[in-house]
Amino acid sequence: MKPNTTLKFARMDAGFTREGLANALGVSPMTIYRWERGENCPSPYFRARLRKLLQLPEQAFGAQETAEEETRSRDSLSSFLIDPCLPISQMAPVGQQSLLKEIGQRPDRPTIGLIGLPGSGKTAIAQALTNLPDMRRQVEGVFWAVIGQEPNHLRHLHRWLMLLGGEKSVSEQREEVQDRLCLLLRGRKILIVLDDLWRTDDILPYHFPHCRYIITTRLPAVASTVCDLIYRPRALTGRQAFHLLSHGLSPIVVREHSEVLQALTQQVGNLPLAVEQMGKYLHREARVASQRRFQEALTRLFQPATYLHLEDIPGSFSLAASIKRSEARLSVSARHALASLATHFPAAPASFSERQVMDLIQVSHQFQLPDFDQLVDAGLVTTTERNQYHMHPVIVAYARLLTKTEQEAAE
């Protein structure tokens, strides 16, 4: 889609910054950025609000209607409810077809959990699940809420209240808004997606009779507490990761740099977000049509300081920023444990035992076994069968880079 300059200039003429308009609509500034860039088009619900708020003409979004959005428009006129904040998928999650099929065959489970590392594709899988016919046949609508570490529960509850036909509540008492939603949802089955859940208590504001849930989280304890079935995103094969990385590059460039591209995917352990971000970065550099610049870009991507800090768009979460959200929750001694493990043990697919961890504790004297348990609970170390553990290459790279940065700062 082409950039929506009409929307951009209308926003500026009305005196709104992206952040100000995002707050007025109850969305993120990144969403406004994508609308203006033409990467996404507002849903019918938000198009109506934008026209009213910015005094836009009826045809302002006419050229940007997509087939999926037209379907949503029809859905909004039927009894099936679609949350306007439900993300619009750009492409099906690579390598997850078998998982989608497996979960789709169990739509009867009240709460399905998706757990995995930052960037493993949990959100994309959850979005794809909401479009499965088997899922939709079991419910009467789809509600979506990004929870995060600092949730704004009322924001989502107010939006759902209006979606159900109730007027926006002026009450800031969560219990009162919940009571009104319970009345409107009486007897209705809604699929509720709670994306990025960090605390088990944060599911309570969204607990309604008859509803079914999809939860995404990076924390095993949260998933095991609130979910009936738990799934992990499938690891990409080398071929799938290569396809994702090279998507958008010319066949000539792909053939010429095939071995280097394969090495890049192996470096990040085929992690979907890392591979996708590197692919977009290379695509941007390839458009400059400078062989030197493209070669320099390939070289830079072998440096963790580069690929860990790539952003899809300015202001979005990089891999480093996303991992930092987990690392920041650790105690000081648990951070020492993360650094020690990343230094002494090879990254996945190699594994290490708890006995090896205890031996490392005896040698380093920097952490204790409960500190190691913190890493497991935070999802930074993954448990395998037979009391084995491993760390993903991206987590190892992050920990080593963090240690290097701290040492340089101390000097």
Which pLDDT band, with edges at 50, 70 and 90, does 1 fall under? low
Cα→Cα distances 342→6, 235, 311, 328, Å? 50, 21, 24, 17
CB 203 within 8 A of CB 196: no
* Most confident option among 15-19, 61-65, 151-155, 193-197: 193-197
* Assigned token pair, 127: 């979005």
Of the two residues 74 and 208, the one the predictor is more confident about is: 208
Per-residue pLDDT band for 232 (boundaries 50, 70, 90) equals: very high
Beta carbons of 85 and 123 less than 8 angstroms apart: no
4 and 19 Cβ atoms separated by less than 8 Å: no
Q: Are 7 and 56 in contact (CB under 8 A)?
A: yes
User: Which residues touch 99 (CB under 8 Å, ≥6 apart)?
Assistant: 125, 231, 233, 234
For residues 399 and 365, is the Cβ–Cβ distance under 8 A? Answer: no
Beta carbons within 8 Å of 162's beta carbon, 6+ residues apart: 168
What would the mean pLDDT of 267-284 be, rounded to a whole number? 94
CATH architecture of 5-76: Orthogonal Bundle (1.10)
- pLDDT grade, residue 70 (50/70/90)? very low
Q: Two tokens at 15?
A: 């005196």
Output the pLDDT for position 69: 44
- Dihedral of the CA atoms 244, 250, 253, 259 (nearest 10)? 20
DSSP state letters, 242-301: HHHHHTTS-HHHHHHTHHHHHHHHHHTTT-HHHHHHHHHHHHHHHTTT-HHHHHHHHHHT
User: For domain 320-410, which architecture applies?
Assistant: Orthogonal Bundle (1.10)
Nearest alpha-carbon partner for 2 in 82, 75, 62: 62
* Cα gap 339→203, rounded to integer Å: 33
CA 337 to each of CA 5, 351, 377, 386: distance values in angstroms, whole numbers, following the listed order: 50, 16, 13, 22
What is residue 340's three-state secondary structure?
helix
Query: What are the phi and psi torsion angles at 40 (to 5°)?
Result: -135, 160
Q: Which pLDDT score, from 0 to 100, does residue 71 have?
A: 47
In this structure, the number of other CB atoms found within 10 A of the CB of residue 159 comes to 19
CATH number of 97-231: 3.40.50.300
CB-facing half-sphere around the CA of 391: CA atoms within 13 A: 28
What confidence score (pLDDT) does residue 133 get? 86
Cα distance between residue 264 and residue 269, in whole Å: 9
Task: Count Cβ atoms within 10 A of the Cβ of residue 22 and give its class: 0-12 exposed, 13-18 middle, 19 or more buried.
Answer: middle
The mean pLDDT value for 221-249 works out to: 94
**pLDDT value at position 72?**
43
Confidence bin at 175 (pLDDT 50/70/90): confident
User: To which H or E segment does residue 305 belong?
Assistant: helix 304-307
pLDDT in tens, 369-396: 999 999 999 999 998 877 799 999 999 9
Highest-confidence segment of 1-10, 286-295, 355-364: 355-364
Amino acid at 411: E
Mean pLDDT score across all residues of the chain: 87
Q: Which run of H or E residues covers position 179?
A: helix 174-184
Helix (H) or strand (E) holding 383: strand 382-384
Residue 90's pLDDT band, with cuts at 50, 70 and 90, is low
What distance in Å separates the CA atoms of residue 310 and residue 24, rounded to the nearest whole number?
29
pLDDT for residue 183: 86
